[in-house]
């Protein structure tokens, strides 16, 4: 028969072993978490460098191309028929542009970009690629809108001039202004109308 003292010692030893096992499990968990954090940090620090990336669908067809070619960086998004539908680029001079293309993948229907002079511009184009509506804001903040005919000749122009004058100009096929409506800085309006020869036939006030 075991003595009470021996039983107490055995119970204390068993309790100590249980504490030791819990401690070692906790220590192992901390070590695993630390190792995972180190591995994640090393993974995040890696850099993948290439001149061209191709994004493919489940069938292996290209759906996106990100590349650098002739000093121009571009991103093209492609539909399921293989047509380019969106083209984002920055040219060698640092000028960015975004073009939306029609179903054939060649005709540009809309362009948003900036000129080398700092002006921002949006162009909406017909199915034949002709520019029909243009919206611009100069670097100085002067806005203007033009509406073109099928030959890309401006027929309507409206905007706010740098001196604060708001205007609408109606033009003929040759681009000559035949009607000009404006509101000056003082709030007073005016209207000028010309005939086919360019002679003023009516003026208000």
Let me know if residue 134 belongs to a domain: no
Q: Map tokens 């086919």 to a residue.
A: 196
Whether residue 30 sits in one domain with residue 8: yes
pLDDT at 100: 96
Percent of the chain clearing pLDDT 70 (strictly above): 78
**In a domain? residue 160:** yes
Q: What is the mean pLDDT of the segment spanning 122-128?
A: 95
Angular region, 97: left φ>0, alpha ψ -120 to 50, beta rest: beta
Contact predicate 98/86, CB 8 Å = yes
Whether residue 194 is found in the same domain as residue 161: yes
Query: Looking at the structure, do residues 6 and 72 belong to the same domain, yes or no?
Result: no
What is the number of domains present in the chain? 3
* H helices present in the chain, as ranges: 4-45
* pTM, entire model: 0.70
- Domain range for 101 is 47-123
| 61: enclosing H helix or E strand | none
**Closest Cα partner for 107 from 88, 131, 89?**
131
Please check whether residues 37 and 56 belong to one and the same domain. Answer: no
- Cα–Cα dist 100/89, whole Å: 12
- The number of C-alpha atoms within 13 Å of 171 and in the hemisphere containing its C-beta is 18
Residue 135 forms part of a structural domain = no
Query: CATH no. for residue 108?
Result: 3.90.930.1
In a domain, 58, yes or no: yes
Comparing CA positions, the residue from 107, 57, 52, 111 lying closest to residue 82 is 57
pLDDT digits (tens, 9 = 90+) for 58-73: 999 999 999 999 999 9
């Amino acid at each position: 028969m075991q003595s009470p003292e021996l039983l107490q010692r055995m119970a204390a030893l068993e309790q100590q072993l249980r504490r030791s096992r819990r401690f070692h499990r906790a220590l192992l968990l901390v070590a695993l978490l630390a190792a995972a954090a180190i591995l994640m940090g090393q993974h995040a620090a890696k850099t993948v460098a290439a001149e061209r990336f191709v994004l493919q669908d489940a069938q292996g067809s290209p759906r996106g191309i990100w590349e650098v070619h002739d000093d121009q960086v571009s991103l093209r998004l492609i539909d399921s028929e293989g047509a380019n539908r969106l083209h984002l680029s920055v040219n060698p001079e640092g000028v960015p542009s975004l073009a939306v293309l029609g179903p054939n993948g060649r005709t540009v229907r809309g362009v948003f970009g900036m000129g080398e002079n700092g002006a921002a511009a949006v162009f909406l184009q017909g199915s034949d690629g002709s520019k029909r509506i243009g919206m611009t804001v100069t670097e100085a903040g002067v806005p203007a809108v033009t509406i073109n005919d099928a030959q890309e000749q401006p027929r309507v122009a409206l905007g706010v001039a740098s001196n604060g004058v708001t205007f609408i100009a109606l033009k003929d096929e040759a681009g000559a202004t035949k009607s000009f409506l404006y509101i000056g800085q003082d709030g007073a309006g005016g209207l000028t109308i010309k005939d086919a020869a360019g002679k003023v036939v009516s003026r208000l006030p």
